[in-house]
Amino acid sequence: MPTGDPRTAAEALSELQQLAETADFVPAGCMVQHRRIPDAHGYLGAGKLAELAEVVKLAHSGCVICDDSLTPNQMRNIENTVGVPVMDRSELILQIFGTHARTPQARMQVELASLQYEMPRLRRRWTHLERQRGGIGIRGGAGEKQIDVDRNLLRTRIASVNRGLKRIEQHKVRAVQARPDLFTVALVGYTNAGKSSLMNRLTDAGVLAENKLFSTLDTRTRPWRLPGGRTVLLTDTVGFLRKLPHQLVASFHATLEEALHADLLLVLVDGSSSEAAEQLTAVDEVLSTLKADNLPRLTVLNKLDLVEDRATLAPLWRIDPHAIAVSVQDGEGLPVVMTSIQNHLAAVENRVELLLPHTAGALHAEIRTRATVLSEFYTEDGCLMEIQASPAILGRLMAGGARAVQRPPNAPDQPE
Ligand SMILES: Nc1nc2c(ncn2[C@@H]2O[C@H](COP(=O)(O)OP(=O)(O)OP(=O)(O)O)[C@@H](O)[C@H]2O)c(=O)[nH]1
Ligand SMILES: [Mg+2]
């Protein structure tokens, strides 16, 4: 068990099992050792390590996965005792990210994280090769020179991937800046919470959604038409996980940052999971590392259709009394999400009355999609509208020919 993990061993192992299955492993068994600090040499104590070797032999396992980070030394020592390859949590997650990466940016981000993970472990790989060839260790052996060659190769590749990534990121920044000034809602949350499913349900994004961890590794933004015609942008992105390898958090920073350019966060959590409260806390931690913890947010508890007793949601409502329970699958609660977003818009935007002269009639369609129209009347001078919009949109409308209407204090609400 990793130290400082608030979960029980069973909870931590059930997540590790899910990760392993996502990477197409078939788990044969689990083992837990309760220790205050991991053994520096073999992570587990000597007795437990021997027990593990026995279990691996009996189950004919091809690999051992540890739920914590292992030092290259610990990995080598465990491998020597159990006789099969050993993987730590970071390596497993990197492998999953590697198979799920589809866009060039995601592929490069995973490659960068993997190269950085690999760097301190080069020596271990070479010791293995020398042993297989019957060598006598790496001190002064062929491996020693090869490690230097490999290290230089890795450094060159890291620099080249970094340059490629910078180019893509600059291109993306320009694309985000060129985006129409629409209110943006970002979907964030623990992996497998249902973010892509919600995105698909609300827009026709056609994003891959499946019962696997880290199905989505890049950011996608689609227009979402709210009831009444107002359009906002909805952004889906990579899911969070407790203790993500730091190399991955660093590599995916740009992807997450793009999503966190949002005006409002929808924090999604799988309400049917027994670990929903811990997952919400983990999401908070990632958001605060990304300095996005002060963005306005709505908490959405998903998969209500799988919750047999709603009383089990009580701890989540204690964390956020305004959390909205929904089922993306059958649509329950989604109208409440929309109303909450509209209420949020009403609270943060300006409400103004303006006259759209006939000469500026072309702005009418823009107002309908980018602002909320509260009322409109046609008069001799043009269309008199009461709208709610952001200062940026209002500025654009004024520049396009719309005029603010100043009413005398006792004027009737509506024109005759
Ligand atoms: N029963 C039920 N299943 C749901 C619901 N919403 C989503 N799912 C399922 O949950 C699984 C994960 O959904 P995704 O939409 O891929 O989750 P995600 O948050 O995008 O996951 P990552 O991209 O991995 O971060 C899929 O198998 C969905 O079909 C729901 O309301 N009820
Ligand atoms: Mg997804």
Query: Which CATH number characterizes residue 341's domain?
Result: 3.40.50.300
In a domain, 416, yes or no: no
Which region, left, alpha or beta, applies to residue 316 given φ > 0 means left and ψ of -120 to 50 means alpha?
A: alpha
Cβ burial, residue 82 (10 Å; 0-12/13-18/19+): buried
Q: In angstroms, what CA-CA distances link 75 with 7, 17, 105?
A: 24, 20, 30
**pLDDT tens digits, residue range 213-247?**
777 777 788 889 888 788 899 998 888 877 777 77
Tell me, in angstroms, the distance from the centre of ligand 2 to residue 374's CA.
35
Residues 163, 200: one domain? no
Residues 206, 287: one domain? yes
Q: Point out which residues pair with 234 in neighbouring strands.
A: 185, 222
pLDDT at 136: 41
Tracing tokens 């964390």 back to the chain, one arrives at: 319
Residues 23, 148: one domain? no
- The answer to whether residue 259 scores a pLDDT higher than 80 is no
In a domain, 298, yes or no: yes
Three-state SS for 388?
strand
Tell me, in angstroms, the distance from the centre of ligand 2 to residue 186's CA.
12
Residue nearest (by alpha carbon) to ligand 1 atom 3? 303
Residue ranges making up the domain that contains 308: 181-346
In a domain, 2, yes or no: no
327 contacts 303 by C-beta, under 8 angstroms: yes
Length in residues, the chain: 416
Residues 160, 21: one domain? no
pLDDT at 415: 47
Given pLDDT bands bounded at 50, 70 and 90, which one contains residue 416? very low
**How far is the C-alpha of 241 from the C-alpha of 287, rounded, in Å?**
12
Given pLDDT bands bounded at 50, 70 and 90, which one contains residue 409? low
**How far is the C-alpha of 64 from the C-alpha of 7, rounded, in Å?**
21
pLDDT at 138: 42
User: Where does a domain end: 175, 207, 240?
Assistant: 175
Tell me, in angstroms, the distance from the centre of ligand 2 to residue 76's CA.
35
Q: Which of 284, 195, 270 is nearest to 234 (CA)?
A: 195
Count of structural domains, the chain: 4
145's CB contacts (< 8 A; 6+ apart) are: none
Token pair belonging to 205: 């994004």
Q: Which of 333, 280, 325 is nearest to 307 (CA)?
A: 325
**Can you point out the beta strands (E) in 243-291?**
264-270
Separation of first and last alpha carbons in the chain:
74
Residues 201, 279: one domain? yes
Q: Is the CB of 292 under 6 A from ligand 1?
A: no
User: For residue 363, what is the domain's CATH number?
Assistant: 3.30.70
pLDDT at 326: 97
- The answer to whether residue 127 scores a pLDDT higher than 80 is no
Residues 107, 248: one domain? no
Residue nearest (by alpha carbon) to ligand 1 atom 2? 303
Question: Residues with Cβ within 5 Å of ion ligand 2?
Answer: 195-196, 215-216
User: For residue 87, what is the domain's CATH number?
Assistant: 3.40.50.11060
User: Where does a domain end: 296, 329, 346?
Assistant: 346
**pLDDT tens digits, residue range 285-317?**
888 887 888 899 999 999 999 999 999 999 999
- The answer to whether residue 140 scores a pLDDT higher than 60 is no
**pLDDT tens digits, residue range 75-114?**
989 999 999 999 998 889 888 888 888 888 888 888 998 8
Residues 353, 340: one domain? no
pLDDT at 299: 96
Residues 318, 360: one domain? no
Burial 40-52 (b: 16+ CB within 10 A, else e): eebbbeeebbeeb
126 contacts 146 by C-beta, under 8 angstroms: yes
Average pLDDT of span 330-356: 93
Q: Is the CB of 255 under 6 A from ligand 1?
A: no
User: Where does a domain end: 63, 97, 131?
Assistant: 97
Q: Which ligand 1 atom is the nearest neighbour of the CA of 198?
A: 15
- The answer to whether residue 133 scores a pLDDT higher than 50 is no
Residues 123, 240: one domain? no
In a domain, 297, yes or no: yes
Three-state SS for 237?
coil
Task: Compare 177 and 226 and report the one with higher pLDDT.
Answer: 226
Token pair belonging to 224: 């979402």
In a domain, 380, yes or no: yes
